[in-house]
């Protein structure tokens, strides 16, 4: 499992630079690059700090699979990609909205019956 590569891929999806990450972590860009390249040992605190900056649950970093993020449109003349990566707050908001819509659907069904 290449945690450094997973962190890099998530960072790039967030459009964060190595400089941004390094600044937020209080380290140099070179030191941060060594984390992504697995040239330095990543301790648990630093791993959690990186997850916080990336706005993602640490367990999602460990299970991250870039192939599940992008859906290439097979019927398009051009390559279109849509991303499905949500941060925790977006996920909660989406689930809340889905819950409200399900309640509304049930109300409408009950009116017909």
Number of domains in the chain: 1
pLDDT value at position 69?
A: 64
pLDDT, tens digit, 9 for 90 and up, residues 5-47 = 999 999 998 889 999 999 999 999 999 999 999 999 999 999 9
pLDDT value at position 14?
A: 87
Strand partners, 70: 83
Contact predicate 18/32, CB 8 Å:
yes
pLDDT value at position 89?
A: 75
The answer to whether residue 81 scores a pLDDT higher than 70 is no
Give the domain CATH number at 10: 1.10.260.40
Q: Look at residue 90 and tell me if it is in a domain.
A: no
Q: Look at residue 39 and tell me if it is in a domain.
A: yes
Alpha-carbon distance of 41 to 49, in angstroms, equals 14
Q: Which residues lie closer than 8 Å to 14 by C-beta, 6 or more apart?
A: 54, 55
In three-state secondary structure terms, 14 is: coil
Q: Look at residue 14 and tell me if it is in a domain.
A: yes
Write down the pTM of the prediction: 0.61
Residue 73: band (very low, low, confident or very high) from pLDDT cuts 50, 70, 90 = very low
Supply the range of the domain harboring residue 46: 3-68
Q: Look at residue 50 and tell me if it is in a domain.
A: yes
In three-state secondary structure terms, 75 is: coil
């Amino acid at each position: 499992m290449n945690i450094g590569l997973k962190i890099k891929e998530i960072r790039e999806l967030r459009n964060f630079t190595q400089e941004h990450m390094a600044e937020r972590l209080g380290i140099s860009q070179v030191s941060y690059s060594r984390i992504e390249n697995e040239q330095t040992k990543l301790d648990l605190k630093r791993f959690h700090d990186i997850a916080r900056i990336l706005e993602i649950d640490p367990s999602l970093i460990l299970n991250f699979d870039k192939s599940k993020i992008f859906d290439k449109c097979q019927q398009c003349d051009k390559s279109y990609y849509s991303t499905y990566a949500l941060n925790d707050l977006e996920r909660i908001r989406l689930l809340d909205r889905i819950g409200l819509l399900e309640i509304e659907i049930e109300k409408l069904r009950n009116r017909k019956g």
